[in-house]
């Protein structure tokens, strides 16, 4: 019975479906306390946030903590400046990918803090 309960919790932890990002979608940002700006390919997104896939030995992970708040430039396409939106986000989790694949990576979950003002 406990196993079924734990499996249901895992299934319900995602309140919205994740949509794989297009090939050229990415985010760029300067994390709190970092001198560098990072540009990272977007893994997936939902109505409430973004998912990034980062190698576990990336320097970026030394600058991010769950709860950090900052602004990202969300690039919807590979064409520079074609579709760039600034979004205020909060780091919700830094976790291992499901089933451990790809190996030696972490997923960074970013939650939008402001509603999308495009209607």
pTM over 0.85? The answer is no
Q: Would you give the DSSP letter of residue 33?
A: T
User: pLDDT tens digits for 8-52?
Assistant: 334 435 567 888 888 888 999 999 888 999 999 999 988 899 999
- Would you say residue 5 has pLDDT above 50? no
| 78 vs 94, residue with greater confidence | 94
Taking the CB of residue 33, how many other CB atoms lie within 10 A of it? Answer: 10
Tell me what the mean pLDDT of segment 87-100 comes to: 91
User: pLDDT tens digits for 94-107?
Assistant: 999 888 788 999 99
Provide the strand spans (E) within 56-103: 69-75, 84-95
- Would you say residue 113 has pLDDT above 50? yes
Contact between 42 and 27 (Cβ < 8 Å)? yes
Provide the pLDDT for residue 14: 55
Provide the pLDDT for residue 80: 58
Quote the CA–CA distance of 119 and 113 in Å, as a whole number: 17
Q: What domains does the chain contain, in order, with CATH numbers?
A: 21-112 (2.40.10.220)
């Amino acid at each position: 019975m406990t196993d079924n309960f734990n499996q249901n919790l895992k299934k319900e932890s995602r309140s919205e479906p994740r949509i794989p990002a297009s090939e050229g979608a990415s985010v760029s940002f300067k994390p709190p306390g970092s001198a560098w700006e990072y540009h990272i390919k977007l893994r997936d997104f939902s109505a409430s946030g973004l998912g990034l896939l980062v190698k576990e030995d990336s320097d970026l992970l030394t600058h991010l903590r769950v709860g950090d708040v900052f602004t990202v430039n969300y690039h919807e396409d590979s064409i520079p400046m074609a579709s760039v939106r600034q979004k205020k986000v909060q780091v919700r989790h830094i976790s291992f990918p499901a089933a451990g694949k790809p190996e030696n990576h972490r997923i960074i979950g970013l939650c939008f803090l402001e509603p999308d003002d495009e209607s």
